[in-house]
Amino acid sequence: MAPGDEETTVKSLLADFVRESIPEYILDGSHAIVAGDGIQKLTVNRHGDFYDVEGQVQGDDFQVYTSELSVNLKGGGVSFFCNCPDSFSGVCRHVGATALKCLRSLDEADTERPRRRRPTGATGGRPSGPTFPRSPSPSPAATT
């Protein structure tokens, strides 16, 4: 099996998962997290027939949660886990955001030259220091 086939499988399974398993109101929050750079780290592990994605996700409550997605390449299912309180009731925004971010990084890998690259920096993310409020920069594209 060519390496590209696997990514295609992961992409289509993740896209199905997002479309079929994540309610729209959850997905809205997921998009907001991705747009706001809430995914601090995305780690991909391939073992056997499973393609695991782990995301460090900062939601709108400023807590960082660990979301995990496990794509079953052979069986064709996606299982998920998140350690946030919302995850008891099903798919949460963090899981959705991790799926979206992973899809996006797979897309980017696709459109660029086919070479192995990691979706995020190889070193362990940025240190968590005090966060300063960002001054709103005037961007014409972001007007509501």
What minimum distance in Å lies between the beta carbon of 42 and Zn ion? 15
Q: Does 84 bind Zn ion (CB under 5 A)?
A: yes
Q: Does 33 bind Zn ion (CB under 5 A)?
A: no
State residue 6 phi and psi, 5-degree precision.
-65, -45
What minimum distance in Å lies between the beta carbon of 95 and Zn ion? 6
- Name which position in 39, 92, 99, 106 contacts Zn ion (CB under 5 A): 92
Q: Does 94 bind Zn ion (CB under 5 A)?
A: yes
Q: Does 101 bind Zn ion (CB under 5 A)?
A: no
The residue range among 33-41, 47-55, 77-85, 100-108 that interacts with Zn ion, by the rule CB under 5 A, is 77-85
The residue range among 17-25, 27-35, 62-70, 133-141 that interacts with Zn ion, by the rule CB under 5 A, is 62-70
Instruction: Identify which of residues 82 and 102 has a Cβ nearer to Zn ion in the complex.
Output: 82
- HEC letters along the chain: CCHHHHHHHHHHHHHHHHHHHCCHHHHHHHHHHHHCCCEEEEEEEEECCEEEEEEEEECCCCCEEEEEEEEECCCCCEEEEECCHHHHHCCCHHHHHHHHHHHHHHHHHHHCCCCCCCCCCCCCCCCCCCCCCCCCCCCHHHCC
Residues engaged in binding Zn ion (CB under 5 A): 65, 82, 84, 87, 92, 94
